[in-house]
Amino acid sequence: MRGPHTLTCSLIGLLSLYGALDGAYAAPYYGGNSYQQPQQDYDVVKALRYEIANHEQEIRTLEERLEQQEEIVDAARSAADSLKKQVAQLLDADTSDLDSQVAEVAGVNDKLNQDLHSLQKQANAVAELVEAHSTQLKELEETLAGQSQQFSTLEKAVQSLVTALQDPTTSSSGVEGTEISYSVVSGDSLEKIARRHNTTIKAIKEHNKLSSDKILIGQKLKIPQ
């Protein structure tokens, strides 16, 4: 299991890696609700980054408390060793008080060990939570990457259509034959893709020579327009 210090270093590296997200997935906006989805996902990513930063601070605080507890335990153990030496030197004297002090120090030591165990559990719980958020952040990043590619493709298609419409020599049949390339992302289906691009499942299957509705993440599809 990774310790809090190792996890903290991983968090710092993760936050540095995702520091460029502020501008990496910005896509052009042409109006309409469908173009505002990447901004919403990007806001979720920023919220997750903020939450991870909070967990990082919480782990650092736990580390400091662990170090303080370890110093107290070391001091208590040193005191116990010192008392044991005194007991050995005073074998002929009344050792009832020394035994009481030793027992007291032993009790303090047990209590400190329990506190350390409790703090370790808290650190492990925070580490698991941070790892879960990191996984979610990675999934959102992959989704944003796919959406960014989609919008880039749509932008090129729109530019081609605008150019075709502005060119008086272009016929209507030339516009109808336009197609775009689409990369399948997680959660996609032919139905979703067809609805998103205002076409039909049958048209997509025929255009890509698909014998079934099964598609794979990363698969390139030609979408008829």
Residue 50 predicted with pLDDT over 80: yes
CA distance 224 to 62: 57
Residue 83 predicted with pLDDT over 70: yes
- Residue 220 pLDDT class (50, 70, 90 cuts): very high
CA distance 172 to 156: 19
Residue 31's pLDDT is 46
Q: Where is average pLDDT lowest: 14-18, 135-139, 150-154? A: 14-18
CA distance 183 to 220: 5
Residue 159's pLDDT is 74
Which residue pairs from 76-80 have beta carbons closer than 8 angstroms and sit at least 24 positions apart in sequence? 76/105, 76/108, 76/109, 76/112, 77/109, 79/105, 80/105, 80/106, 80/109
CA distance 135 to 21: 16
CA distance 73 to 110: 9
Going from N- to C-terminal start, the domains of the chain cover: 4-150
Q: What is the tens place of the pLDDT at every residue in 13-43?
A: 555 545 544 444 444 444 445 445 667 777 8
pTM over 0.85: no
Share of the chain above pLDDT 70, in %: 72
More confident residue, 167 or 201: 201
Tell which CATH architecture fits domain 4-150: Orthogonal Bundle (1.10)
